[in-house]
Structure 1
């Protein structure tokens, strides 16, 4: 349970959620509630995972259902999804270091390279034992540091909780009416909520935790407990953002929010916050690197070349850690917007991996051809949407493309089932 929580809540997520509670108000508070609801939906799906629990990754599960080509495609898009997640954590590490040291553009790039190399070295030589240690440390961060930080921000406001609530009721972004203006902005936010609400089975590091369970019953219980704890954890994260809004004012720029937080705590606790952010970022990033190593050595090369020595697989896994880590570092140079990276991750996983995975879990299993048609539809739909629709409307198309991919995949599976049944009937007549 601690490792699943540590994987869900990374340093990048903590930084982003505090910033956007301050910036978007009631909408982002609702967004965090939907995130916990999504974990609950995920726990309900675990009851159907019995036939797939012997897999090592989501790609292997897809291969067992649909064949080799969908397995390799799932692995490739899962790696792309993980690269985006690792990039988010690298940015969080850079921001944590910048809390203690003022960085200009050149030094920020140097620190980004340094953070990426730390992750690569740590995951390559530390192994799963080191990942587990940082997961436990991150769990302590949830239970101690985040609640204490919320309390410090409340003290900084100089107001009681009742006064804070009364003040927030006078602010437009924290009123229900702010969510009911029907325009493209509302549609964009609804699309984002739908993306987070879908149980994202295309997240390799989360699915790896599923397959580590002893069975579907344990997995279901673990994610149910994680859902309950996520409600508590995200509540304290919301409080931090709310108290910063009250104490720092609405005019506080989003990039200065964490500077405001750090300047209003003691030097000792400032160091604790920095170390906690680093541990949270490293824990989530290490899980992603580990999942990528498995998919390359076990799912891609293991599918192409059946017989492969374990020593050779280990070397490939370590090489994968280096390549994926460097790819994440270069993406961090190109984009440092945490929200944009979150949406980019959805684009890689939801239309391509989550759609056929959900169909398989609910029993709509077809041939390799129908799975490839559904995946190709998801890829083409999200590419077209990001090229022509999103720049004009600002609406993320991951959920819509998921629906398109599900619809095409479902029709293909229905046709495949009907054809199979007719063939069986014809054979029986003969």
Structure 2
């Protein structure tokens, strides 16, 4: 690898600037609260940048190009339904903001469902976040191998090492300000690449003439209409990602929350449309590529010097901006929501801060091991969401919609979700049906939560009419006693 090559110099400059800014911006953090959510002084543009940078990941950037190249604009539409999910999240964001002062999503869960639920939630957040970090770390290794002919392990150590250093040292401030840099890189790179590839494809007219007709259909013959409608619906459902909830808790006020998420949605529309344009343009030029390598091939073979370096830096930015966010939330979850509540005496803010920084380093190291253990980045992401969805999504909806419940209902629904995942694994149902366990386990959690809540409300009407906090609601035994008293 020729280090003095212009493209390499651009990438090295990006990595160094990211590292320096991350350390500089996080240098004055004194309390755990500052480390977790900052000081409520982030601007609208900073929030938009960090929300967008966190939302986009290796799956978003590489996956969009892969799917559109292979199946056409239907996958642009599918990803745009993810933007619908951002708009829906924005509608619920003011309700989430009512929990201002909380430092994590698990702490919110603890307020609503009790201390045991907080610990369970903290474990879920940590495991899910570690999986997401591992997926991005694996992508960093693959990018470095593809463009610089480095071994994936060396690439992982370089890229992940930089992320771990600034994220563990500077907390959410380092993450946010490096997200701004990363946002700038990929939002400059993507339009430039799209413009170059469109010209090579012969402009819009040449693109429409050469691209297969099936690629321009909303419902192509590659799958059934019902399958695509399911994907539209699935992508539109907010899964209350822990990092996005953290961004809500960072905001100054409700108005900033709403404005930031609306602006993010608009940016995401532009991003997905441009990615689709790149993929279709490449399809007209070369129809024989491996879909998994479309973006890598495009950057390596079609971009002039300088723009190629910007494209590589932009791709690294997409991956690193997601990795640092999940690294931050996972370390917070482990110490603030699992270790501290289980201790007889809580850590001081200073102790909690120092231990969390050290934990972030350990998690980063663990994520490297996970990334090495899995060959597929997509496989890691799916496993990470299988940890999150069957336990956390339904209770979070209930929390933000103000539906009263208690710790027992939370635990019962969690058991139902986990049991479904275990059954799927034992009987290898995914291999037989082609359906992974995430959606069935999510529905199992929903059914258990809804059924238990209906039972609970039926047998404790008087108790539930009192204006008390949900985590103070009576137990099932008390509910049963209430029913007997009503019948006597």
> What is the TM-score with the length of structure 2 in the denominator?
0.79
Residue of 378, 390, 411 corresponding to 1:372: 411
Equivalent residue number for residue 54 of structure 2: 7
User: 1:37: how far off?
Assistant: 0.8
State whether residues 390 and 397 of structure 1, in contact with CA within 8 Å, keep that contact through their aligned partners in structure 2: yes
User: 1:218: how far off?
Assistant: 2.8
User: 1:302: how far off?
Assistant: 2.0
Report the Cα distance in structure 2 between the residues aligned to 1:330 and 1:411, rounded to whole angstroms: 40
Equivalent residue number for residue 181 of structure 2: 137
Superimposed CA distance per residue, residues 61-119 of structure 1 (whole angstroms, 9 cap, x where no aligned partner): 1000001111111111111111122122212322332343224xxx2223223333232
Superimposed CA distance per residue, residues 326-380 of structure 1 (whole angstroms, 9 cap, x where no aligned partner): 2221221122423333322321222211111111222222110111001111111
State whether residues 134 and 283 of structure 1, in contact with CA within 8 Å, keep that contact through their aligned partners in structure 2: yes
Alignment of structure 1 residues 29-44 onto 2, 5 Å: 29-44=76-91
Matched, 1:242 2:280: yes
Equivalent residue number for residue 420 of structure 2: 381
Residue of 81, 99, 114 corresponding to 2:158: 114
State whether residues 289 and 321 of structure 1, in contact with CA within 8 Å, keep that contact through their aligned partners in structure 2: yes
Superimposed CA distance per residue, residues 184-216 of structure 1 (whole angstroms, 9 cap, x where no aligned partner): xx64x6655444322111x22111101112333
User: 1:428: how far off?
Assistant: 9.5
User: 1:265: how far off?
Assistant: 0.9
Matched, 1:16 2:53: no
Matched, 1:252 2:289: yes
User: 1:163: how far off?
Assistant: 2.2
Gap change, CA 1:417 and 1:215, over 3 Å in 2: farther
Matched, 1:413 2:444: no
State whether residues 50 and 180 of structure 2, in contact with CA within 8 Å, keep that contact through their aligned partners in structure 1: yes
State whether residues 167 and 175 of structure 2, in contact with CA within 8 Å, keep that contact through their aligned partners in structure 1: yes
User: 1:291: how far off?
Assistant: 0.9
User: 1:7: how far off?
Assistant: 0.9
Deviates further, 286-295 or 49-58: 49-58
Superimposed CA distance per residue, residues 149-189 of structure 1 (whole angstroms, 9 cap, x where no aligned partner): 111111222x1202212333x34344345257449xx64x6
Matched, 1:292 2:339: no
Residue of 141, 161, 164 corresponding to 2:204: 161
Gap change, CA 1:60 and 1:152, over 3 Å in 2: same
Report the Cα distance in structure 2 between the residues aligned to 1:320 and 1:262, rounded to whole angstroms: 37
Report the Cα distance in structure 2 between the residues aligned to 1:318 and 1:352, rounded to whole angstroms: 27
User: 1:310: how far off?
Assistant: 2.1
State whether residues 60 and 299 of structure 1, in contact with CA within 8 Å, keep that contact through their aligned partners in structure 2: yes
Report the Cα distance in structure 2 between the residues aligned to 1:334 and 1:383, rounded to whole angstroms: 21
Equivalent residue number for residue 172 of structure 1: 214
Alignment of structure 1 residues 5-404 onto 2, 5 Å: 5-103=52-150, 107-157=151-201, 159-168=202-211, 170-178=212-220, 181-182=223-224, 187=227, 192-201=231-240, 203-249=241-287, 251-257=288-294, 258-305=296-343, 306-387=345-426, 388-404=428-444
Report the Cα distance in structure 2 between the residues aligned to 1:215 and 1:419, rounded to whole angstroms: 39
Report the Cα distance in structure 2 between the residues aligned to 1:401 and 1:330, rounded to whole angstroms: 27
Gap change, CA 1:219 and 1:385, over 3 Å in 2: farther
Equivalent residue number for residue 30 of structure 2: none
Gap change, CA 1:71 and 1:234, over 3 Å in 2: same
Deviates further, 268-277 or 120-129: 120-129
State whether residues 293 and 316 of structure 1, in contact with CA within 8 Å, keep that contact through their aligned partners in structure 2: no
Report the Cα distance in structure 2 between the residues aligned to 1:261 and 1:63, rounded to whole angstroms: 46
User: 1:394: how far off?
Assistant: 1.6
Q: Please, which runs of 5 or more residues in structure 2 have no aligned partner? A: 1-47, 466-481
State whether residues 46 and 217 of structure 1, in contact with CA within 8 Å, keep that contact through their aligned partners in structure 2: no
Q: Please, which runs of 5 or more residues in structure 1 have no aligned partner? A: none
User: 1:282: how far off?
Assistant: 1.9
Report the Cα distance in structure 2 between the residues aligned to 1:209 and 1:51, rounded to whole angstroms: 13
Matched pairs, number = 420
Report the Cα distance in structure 2 between the residues aligned to 1:14 and 1:304, rounded to whole angstroms: 40
Report the Cα distance in structure 2 between the residues aligned to 1:341 and 1:389, rounded to whole angstroms: 19
Report the Cα distance in structure 1 between the residues aligned to 2:188 and 2:64, rounded to whole angstroms: 18
More helix by share: 1
Deviates further, 73-82 or 170-179: 170-179
Q: Secondary structure of 1:49's partner?
A: helix
State whether residues 97 and 274 of structure 1, in contact with CA within 8 Å, keep that contact through their aligned partners in structure 2: no
Report the Cα distance in structure 2 between the residues aligned to 1:360 and 1:223, rounded to whole angstroms: 20
Q: Secondary structure of 1:396's partner?
A: coil
User: 1:401: how far off?
Assistant: 2.2
